[in-house]
Amino acid sequence: MAPIGIPELKAIVGMFARSAAASVSKVSYERRQRRAGNPRAESEVKGPKTKEAHMAEKKLNNLFLDTLKDIYFAERQILKNLPKMAKAARSPELKNAFLKHRDQTEQHVERLQEVFELVGKRAQAKTCEAIKGILEEGEEIMDEYGASEALDAGLLAAAQAVEHYEMSRYGTLKTWAGQLGMKEAVGILDETLQEEKETDALLSSLAQSAVNREAA
Ligand code: FE
Ligand code: FE
């Protein structure tokens, strides 16, 4: 093979120089366009990423709203159900716990209406089969154990299932509100989340005390 002469070397160096200049000028063209605030240049540079981010945000917005409608349905059902549970409960402590939580639940409904307002949507309920099932189980316990000493233990278990469902929903909604940059909604959702947790803890302590001993 013949050694590379000066003219060939010059040609190779020239090729590299032209390709380097081309990519430098493309980058500086985009920079200039972006500095000038040309949105098309912006979307050319990071088009797919921005689009994806936008899609993800849109999906999370929809999920947030759907879940808000779900828990709005749930809270209103729970509001109707708690007086029945209070009426059925045998122990005065459990009766009081249900009545106190009924009042708190009224506030939960109002807080959700505030969050709907914050996102500029009409407060709307979406049927939640999960809470319907959990509440139906509570009704079954009232029917089947109405005359039994184990009734309160059953009511406690049913009520804790309700609280756990709510805690999971509010925990999720609070996280999503944070990711969507809705600071005020985070605070409102957290207030309710804390009350659900306190109620759950109260029910746990009742379950460990008199109520379950009586059942045994
Ligand atoms: Fe609630
Ligand atoms: Fe609750």
- Taking only the tens place, the pLDDT of each residue in 155-210 is 999 999 999 999 999 999 999 999 999 999 999 999 999 999 999 999 999 999 86
pLDDT digits 0-9 by tens, 140-168 = 999 999 888 899 999 999 999 999 999 99
CA 148–ligand 1 middle distance (angstroms): 28
CA 9–ligand 1 middle distance (angstroms): 79
Percent of the chain past pLDDT 70, that is, above it, reads: 74
Could you give the angle at which helices 39-88 and 151-179 cross, rounded to 10 degrees?
A: 170
In this prediction, residue 10 has a pLDDT band, given cuts at 50, 70 and 90, of low
CA 214–ligand 2 middle distance (angstroms): 25
Task: Give Cα 65 to chain centroid, integer Å.
Answer: 9
What's residue 28's pLDDT?
Answer: 45
- The domains of the chain are located at 1-37, 48-215
Give the ligand with the smallest distance to the CA of 199.
2
Nearest to 68 by CA among 196, 149, 188: 188
Task: Give Cα 137 to chain centroid, integer Å.
Answer: 25
Separation between Cα atoms, residue 172 and residue 175, nearest integer Å:
5
Buried b (16+ CB within 10 A) or exposed e, 26-35: eeeeeeebee
Whether this prediction's pTM lies above 0.85 is answered by no
In this prediction, residue 112 has a pLDDT band, given cuts at 50, 70 and 90, of very high
Mean pLDDT of the chain: 83
CA 71–ligand 2 middle distance (angstroms): 11
Separation between Cα atoms, residue 101 and residue 71, nearest integer Å:
16
CA 72–ligand 2 middle distance (angstroms): 12
Cα angle 153, 77, 145; round to 5: 25
Q: Which residue has the higher pLDDT, 53 or 60?
A: 60
Position 33 pLDDT exceeds 90 = no
CA 112–ligand 1 middle distance (angstroms): 10
Position 212 pLDDT exceeds 70 = no
CATH (residue range 48-215): 1.20.1260.10
First CA to last CA distance, the chain: 99
Residue with the two structure tokens 């709005």? 72
Dig out the tokens for 56 from the structure.
Answer: 């993800």
Nearest to 74 by CA among 107, 105, 111, 43: 105
Dig out the tokens for 84 from the structure.
Answer: 């029945």
CA 185–ligand 1 middle distance (angstroms): 16
CA 60–ligand 2 middle distance (angstroms): 25
Mean pLDDT across 98-104 = 98
